[in-house]
Chain A
C-alpha cells in the first residue's frame, strides 16, 4: 500500500516537474536499463551505475535549472539532445559499469583467495588436532563417556581421511556471467 502511494506520489511529482522528469528520463536511461535486468539482492549494480549516471546528469540538470532558460519539455529535450550532454552522461554511466565490473572481479578474487587460505588453515588446524588427539576428535565416531571410540577405528577409514580434501570448484565463479539470469539468492 505504501509502495503504491509512493509510486502515485512519484508520478504526480513527475508530472508536476515534467521537464526535469523528461530530462532525467533520458539522462538516467542506462540506470533504468540496469534496473530492469538487475536481480541481485540490494540491486547493488543498479546503485553503482545509477550513482555514476546521476553524477553525469547532475551538472546538466543544474544548468537546466539555472542557466538554460525556461524549464520546458522542449528545452529539456534540446539540452539532452546536445552531444556534449549525452557523451558526458553516458560516459560516466559506462564508468559506473566499469567500476562495478572491476571492483566485483577484484573482490571476488580476493575473497576466493582468502577463503582458500582459510580452508588451508582450517585443514592444517584440523590435522594438528587429529595428530594431537587422534581420529576420534573428528566426531565421526561414536564415543563412550570417556571420549573413546565405542568401536575401534578401522584402518581403511584412516587412510581415506589422510587424503587431501577436495578443492572447491573455481570454475563456477568464472561461469557466473552466463548463469547470471538464473541467480537465486538464499
Chain B
C-alpha cells in the first residue's frame, strides 16, 4: 500500500517513472476463477446452432470466459461467435431479455442465449452473437497513454459509446464491461467508430481492473461489486477517455491498492491524469465530469449530450475528502484519510486491534480528523458490537462496523470478503460452487453487520427500505428450518439468475424449472439403473420455490416430511406439475427413475393384490414418459378410500376368525366338554325315538287297532 502523503505521491506522478524506482506490482489476491478447458467437439444449442469447441476465438475470450466459432452448420459452424459461461459465475440472465431487444451498432447483436449441450452431455450457459466485432483494439489495460486529439476521441469513442449507453439505459441495462481490452475495430484497422465487446456472460464488472471502477466499487472483491449503474459505466468511459488523451500513465507499475489510494487522495481525475499532463480544456471538462468520485456529481447522459452539442454543463464542485492533520501509523505506514485507513485495516484486521483497544483510532478520528459525525458512528459501532457480548466473535463483529463507520460507501467487509449489498447473491453463489466460505455468509446475516450498515445509511437519509425488506426475508429463511429454508434458500432468493446447484444436476446447468426437469432426464439416462434414492434435495427445492412458488408450496409439507412416501409423492407431484404446466416433451428416463422409488407410495395401499395391479399399470405407463399419468394412478381418492374400507373389513374378519379358532382349539383340548355332550344328546334322542317305535310296534302287534289305552 502506498503512503498517503500528498507531497510524495504528487512528486511521483509528475514524471515518467524511472525503471529503477518502479515499485513491484503487488500480487492481486482477488483471484478470478479461470475459464475451464472444454475439450474439442461440437456443442449444440437446441439443434439450431452449433459451437465449434476446437476453434477458440482469443479476440473475444477473457480469463473467465472463452469464446468459440459458432453457426448454423454442424460441420463448420461460422458466422457467429459463442461465449460459453463459466459455471463459477452467474451470467446476467436478469438483463439478457432486455439486451436482446436492442439493435445498436456499437454493441454485439445477441442472436440466442441459453443452455447448450456439450459433447459429453453436460451443459453450460451460452451467449451467441453476430461475429461482426472485428479485432480487439488493445490487448492490455495497462500502461496506456495515447495522446489523442479531441476530434478523434469524440468521433471514435465518445459518440458510439454514448449511443450504446443511451440504448442500454433505456432498457435498464448496465454494461459493466467497458474497458480498453473490450474495444473492437468492427473489422477494419482504420476504424472510425469503436465497438464494445460482450457484457452478459459474467457478473457486471467482474473482469474490470480496479482502474476502471469508482473507488467504492474498486475496493470490493470483483465478485462483490454488484450490477452497478449507468454512472459506473460512464466512469469507465471516463477512464478510457483519460487513457486516450493523456501523454503518460501516472499509475504505471502501481499495484491495485496503490491505484485505489491514489484515487482517494488525489481524486480519480488526478490519479489518472498527472498534474503536469496538458489536456485540452474541452475534453478535460468531459473527463473530469465523468470521473467525479461522487456519483451524484458525476456526469450523466444528459450532461454528455449537452457537452457534445457544445454547451458547458454546470460544473459541480466535488466535495473535498477530509484529510487528517496528523497521520495514524499502521503497518509501518502513515494514513491521513479515513477511507484508505479503513481499506488497509481490513486487509490486516488482527494488527489493528491494538490501535482500537488502545483508543488510538478514536483519538485520531476525534482530534486529527476532527470528524464528529464519524466519531458518533464509531461509538454506535462499539455499542452495536457489544450487544453480542465481548467474548468470542467480538472483533469479528466490531471491525466491519468500524469500517462501515469510517467509510459507509465502501463495500461491507467481513472476514476477508468485501462485498456490496447487491452483490451478495453472486458472492454466495461462488462460495456455494467452491464449497467454502458459507459459514461467513451465515454469520454476516446473523450478527447484525448488515443491519448496522443499513442503519448508518438511514442516518444519512439514504433510501434503505429495499435493503431492510431483503435482509428481513433472508433472516427469516435462516431462522426457519427445513428443506425450504436455510442458506440455500437465501442463495436463490438473492441470486435469481443462478442455475440449480443441486449436486445431481449442477453440471447440467438448469436455470429454470423446465431445464431442471431436462437435466434430471439426462441424469436418469446416465445413472440408470442405479438411480439415486432422492431426486429433489434441499438445493433443488429452494431453487424451485424461488423460481415458481406455485410448484412447491402446495406440497411443501409433504416434501419436507420425514416419511418416505410423503416425500416421494410430493416429488412426483412437483415434477409432474412442471412437465404439465410447461407442456414439456415426454421424459421416459426420468419417469423410469421416479417409478423406481415409488415403492413407499405403492405400499401405502394395504391390499397387496392392488399393489401388484398398480405396479403393472405403472409399468405399462412408464414408457409414455408422462409423469402426470403415473400420478393419476397413484393419487386416486376413490381407490384410497376403497383400500382403507376393505382393509378394515379384513382386520375385522381376521379377528373374527382368530376368535373362532381359539374357541375351537379350546373345545378340542377337552372334547368331552363339548363334543360328547352333543353325542349324548343325539344318543338320547335316538334312544327316545327307538323306544317310542318299540312301544308303538308292540302295541300294534299285540292289540292291532284295538289299543286298550
Contacts and interface: CB of A to CB of B under 8 A. Distances in A.
B647 interface: yes
A14 interface: no
B680 A48 contact: yes
Interface in A80-99: 92, 95-96, 99
Most chain A beta carbons < 10 A, residue from B680, B695, B698, B702: B680
Most chain B beta carbons < 10 A, residue from A132, A169, A176, A185: A132
B654 interface: yes
Contacts of A107: 675-676, 678-679, 682-683
Interface stretch (B205-213, B327-335, B661-669): B661-669
A48 B684 contact: yes
Interface in A88-124: 92, 95-96, 99-108, 111-112, 115-116, 118-119, 122-123
Secondary structure type dominating chain B contacts: helix
B644 interface: yes
Given A41-B677, A133-B607, A139 B672 contact: no
Given A172-B671, A176-B672, A55 B694 contact: yes
Interface residues of B, number: 48
Nearest to B689: A51
Contacts of A59: 698, 702
A123 B661 contact: yes
Contact of B688 (A51, A129, A146): A51
Given A48-B684, A51-B687, A111-B678, A183 B672 contact: yes
Interface residues of A, number: 65
B657 A122 contact: yes
Contacts of B654: 126, 129-130, 137-139
Interface in A38-78: 40-42, 44-45, 47-49, 51-52, 54-56, 58-59, 62, 66
A59 B698 CA distance: 7
Nearest to B688: A51
Nearest to A118: B664
Secondary structure type dominating chain A contacts: helix
A100 B669 CA distance: 22
Interface in A135-152: 136-139, 146-148
Given A123-B661, A147-B651, A44 B683 contact: yes
Contact of A92 (B657, B660, B694): B694
Contact of B691 (A44, A52, A102): A52
A133 B672 contact: no
Most chain A beta carbons < 10 A, residue from B655, B661, B671, B674: B671
Contact of B671 (A55, A58, A95, A111): A111
B651 A47 contact: no
Nearest to B606: A133
Contacts of A40: 676-677, 680
Contact of A176 (B676, B681, B692, B698): B676
B650 A137 contact: yes
Contacts of A158: none
Contacts of B669: 168-169, 172
A163 interface: no
Given A168-B669, A172-B671, A176-B672, A115 B687 contact: no
Contacts of A134: 606, 608
A2 interface: no
B670 interface: yes
Contacts of B664: 115, 118-119, 122, 168
Nearest to A49: B687
B438 to A, nearest CB: 36
Contacts of B648: 147
A25 B678 CA distance: 29
A104 B671 contact: no
B58 to A, nearest CB: 63
Nearest to A133: B650
A66 B703 CA distance: 12
A146 B565 CA distance: 13
Contacts of A42: 677, 680-681, 684
A134 B651 CA distance: 10
B566 to A, nearest CB: 12
Contacts of A131: 608
A126 B657 CA distance: 7
A130 B688 CA distance: 48
A55 B696 CA distance: 10
B609 interface: yes
B386 interface: no
B647 A99 contact: no
A112 B675 contact: yes
B608 A132 contact: yes
A170 B671 CA distance: 8
B691 A55 contact: yes
B683 A103 contact: yes
Given A125-B657, A132-B608, A103 B668 contact: no
A30 B673 CA distance: 25
B679 to A, nearest CB: 3
B653 interface: yes
Contact of B690 (A52, A105, A172): A52
A130 B692 CA distance: 53
Contacts of A118: 660, 664
Contact of B650 (A41, A115, A132, A179): A132
Contacts of B692: 51, 55
Nearest to A123: B661
Given A96-B687, A138-B654, A104 B680 contact: yes
Given A103-B679, A119-B665, A139-B651, A44 B684 contact: yes
B661 to A, nearest CB: 5
A185 B673 contact: yes
B306 interface: no
B672 A180 contact: yes
Given A126-B658, A137-B651, A139-B654, A100 B683 contact: yes
Contacts of A122: 657, 660-661, 664
A16 B608 CA distance: 80
B672 A48 contact: no
Which A-B residue pairs are the 6 nearest by beta carbons?
Answer: A107-B679, A104-B679, A55-B691, A168-B668, A44-B680, A103-B683
15 contacts: A42-B680, A45-B680, A52-B694, A55-B691, A103-B679, A103-B682, A107-B682, A108-B676, A115-B664, A119-B661, A125-B653, A126-B661, A146-B644, A173-B672, A185-B677
Given A122-B657, A173-B675, 7 more contacts: A44-B680, A100-B684, A108-B671, A108-B679, A126-B658, A173-B672, A176-B672
